[in-house]
A and B are shown apart, each in its own frame.
Chain A
Amino acid sequence: MKLNDLATAIGGKVLAGEDRPDVEIDYAFAADLLSDVLSLAEEEDRTTLVTGMINPQVMRVAEILGIAAVIVVRGKLPPASMVEYAEELGIPLLTTCKTMFETCGVMYADGVRPSRTKPVHETRDCP
């Protein structure tokens, strides 16, 4: 789905990347720990990150991983420095008052799919 349609669906506000409403959001990954994002997100898909983190490291991780867009959940308002950095990088940044669960649910219902991830059993013995 397109960035603009996504913003409408999750009742979100586009803080950075308003000039790029047509960015395609096809795959997503949700996490609140940066290393979990870094350990699991595969490179093949242009992944959108759904997170509750609003520290500067989020955009740096997004830059390193080539993240398509960042959606901040639970009504958190990213600081101006994070918004400016997102603009500089050309990575759209959205904020929504919905919870992470609800945001992901709406996105899934609208056709966004889980980003390909490395299987967790690569890092841990799962039953």
Chain B
Amino acid sequence: MKHQIRAGDVEHGGSASARIKGELTRAGVDEATARRAGIVAFEAEMNLIVYSDRGGTLSVRVEPEAVIVEAADTGPGIEDIALAMTPGYSTAPEWATDLGFGAGMGLVNMKKNSDGFEIASRLGEGTTITCRIERPKGETPGREEGHETR
């Protein structure tokens, strides 16, 4: 599942992530995992909209043991990743904070809801973030909940 996200497109912000959550549920991913992946995707989507120069892609892959969410853009890149990962730190422009974005929790939320979190960024080249959200063990593919005892 690959979604193109346009820079500055606040109006549709979050709609790809809402679709992603539905797609995951229909693909048999349990509710808790789909919810975490939805949160990760939402934060990534809003980052692409608010911060990227030319938008980017939001990709989701369902593997037997995990859901992988990947966000990639082509700039501007993050100057200081450690600083960007500091809770509450934000460089959001005023138009974004006016709309309720820019709490400085985006990357923190993505990391917290992931079992694996990788971020690579180069100034002038872009940023790629890969999040791995593990599915509960023993989950039956095609079932919504992983609670079956068998």
Contact = CB atoms under 8 A, between A and B. Distances in A.
Query: Which of the four size classes fits the interface of chain A?
Result: 20 to 34
A63 to B, nearest CB: 5
Contacts, number: 80
Contacts of B31: 66
B117 interface: no
B147 to A, nearest CB: 15
Contact of A39 (B32, B46, B102, B108): B108
Interface stretch (B12-20, B69-77, B122-130, B133-141): B12-20
Contacts of B10: 55, 57
Interface size class of B (residues with CB under 8 A): 20 to 34
Nearest to A62: B18
B43 A38 contact: yes
Interface in B9-53: 10-15, 17-18, 21, 31-32, 35, 38-39, 42-43, 46
Contacts of A124: 87-88
The residue in B13, B18, B88, B112 that gathers the most chain A C-beta atoms within 10 A of its C-beta is B18
Interface of B: 10-15, 17-18, 21, 31-32, 35, 38-39, 42-43, 46, 87-88, 99-106, 108-109, 112
Interface of A: 32-36, 38-39, 43, 53, 55-58, 60-61, 63-66, 118, 122-124
